[in-house]
Amino acid sequence: MQRVAESLVERKALAFTLLGVAIFVAYLAYANPFIALAEVGRFNLGIYMVAILIDQLGLIFWAASWYLILRAMKVRISFWVTTQLSFTSLFIAWLAPIPLMTEMVRAYLVKDSSGSNTGKGLSSVLVHRSYYNVAFGLIIGGTAFATIAMGGQIPISPWISWFLTAFAVVSVIIFALMLNTRALGYVYRKAPAWAKRNLFDRFHDPESGEEGFQPVITEIGEAVRALRVEPGLNIAAFGMLLFHWGAGAMTAYLTAAALGVHVSISTVVFAFAVVEFLQQMNFFIPSGIGLLDAGLAGAFVLAGVPLSTAAAISLLTRLATYWFEVIVCVPVALRFGYKEFLTKYFGG
């Protein structure tokens, strides 16, 4: 049974990867970023290396923010271990782009740490994701407000910027409800049997001595109460996620600068926000190959950047924000046995 489940996961991943590659090839043939790359008088490698460094630093800050949340919940875990768990979750999410996959992986991997349990694992990643989406909404909404206040125009489309802001707000509300024990308990009691079996009870805590998800709800309540008494760690974690989100946008901005292309900060922020939205909505193509590349280029085109130039910026930005991150995360994921998690989750 385990081998069958593992084989099924691998076949699905391969099929959707091939679909992504096909989209990517078609996108390259249509946009042809190589025209813009060939016309670049001198590619500024130094600026591009700074862009890569900022992205990698943002990746570390993303892991560090989760570490601070875990510490606030009194989970005894080192920063190095937290970073390894974070990198493993990213790699698995790239292979199996299911909504909240990074959160599910981290909750599963951290639940057995000293001072942790299933409820703390779930609470920590839900709070982390909520803070991330709050940062997402603040940066998008703040950029839109500042642009309008200074007499400028939103570079892409006003309705897109407000839609992305609303998406961030709604998602934060949903995550907040998931951390409310009364709301969570009500949803669990009313959920059909298949939902309890395939969703909630996957996070059953065997150490509780009770069946079902109800003991985990109690643990979530305890974890949230512990988190509330550590405002300093919460603020620091949120600040790191603000930097992480901004680091991605700054990477795109510096990549354009390395190509000798001037784009405004607001244009880059909105373009990168479109990619973030597509990434959160992507649930079938591993790594978003082709989809995210075309999405970023398309956002720049909407802002008035020529197609070939937009594709060149997108290609190099994705190289920095995805492929170099893969190089960092793959050895860690192999060390932690990512296949074991995939087999247990999908075979469960």
Domain boundaries, the chain: 2-347
Q: What is the mean pLDDT of residues 73-81?
A: 93
Q: What is the mean pLDDT of residues 323-339?
A: 83
pLDDT tens, position by position, 256-311: 999 988 888 888 998 888 888 888 877 777 777 888 888 899 989 988 889 999 99
- In the prediction, which pLDDT does 178 show? 81
pLDDT tens, position by position, 117-142: 888 998 999 899 989 988 888 888 88
Least confident of 193-197, 293-297, 319-323: 193-197
C-alpha to C-alpha distance for 89 and 67, rounded to whole angstroms: 14
pLDDT at 223 over 50: yes
User: Which has more confidence, 197 or 138?
Assistant: 138
Rounded to 5 degrees, φ, ψ at 230 are -125, 65
Least confident of 119-123, 194-198, 328-332: 194-198
Whole-number Cα distances in Å, 69 to 26, 179, 185:
42, 14, 23
- In the prediction, which pLDDT does 10 show? 62
- In the prediction, which pLDDT does 240 show? 96
Element (H, E) at 202: none
pLDDT at 205 over 70: no
- In the prediction, which pLDDT does 271 show? 87
Whole-number Cα distances in Å, 185 to 124, 213, 245:
18, 9, 32
pLDDT band at 168 (very low <50, low <70, confident <90, very high): confident
For the chain, what is the mean pLDDT?
84
Cβ–Cβ < 8 Å for 40, 311: no
Provide, rounded to the nearest whole percent, the portion of the chain with pLDDT above 90: 28
C-alpha to C-alpha distance for 75 and 88, rounded to whole angstroms: 19
pLDDT at 185 over 90: no
Q: What is the mean pLDDT of residues 250-258?
A: 94
132, 133, 134, 138: CA torsion to nearest 10 = 110
Question: Minimal CA–CA distance to 222: which of 115, 85, 129?
Answer: 115
Q: What is the mean pLDDT of residues 66-79?
A: 94
Question: Minimal CA–CA distance to 280: which of 66, 86, 158, 137?
Answer: 137
- In the prediction, which pLDDT does 7 show? 60
- In the prediction, which pLDDT does 210 show? 53
Helix (H, G, I), strand (E, B) or coil at 179: coil
pLDDT band at 211 (very low <50, low <70, confident <90, very high): low
- In the prediction, which pLDDT does 1 show? 47
- In the prediction, which pLDDT does 335 show? 79
pLDDT tens, position by position, 35-55: 877 776 678 889 999 999 999
281-284: long-range contacts (C-beta < 8 A, 24 or more apart)? 282/97, 283/97, 283/98, 283/99, 284/16, 284/19, 284/97
pLDDT at 2 over 50: no
Cα 204 from chain centroid (whole Å): 25
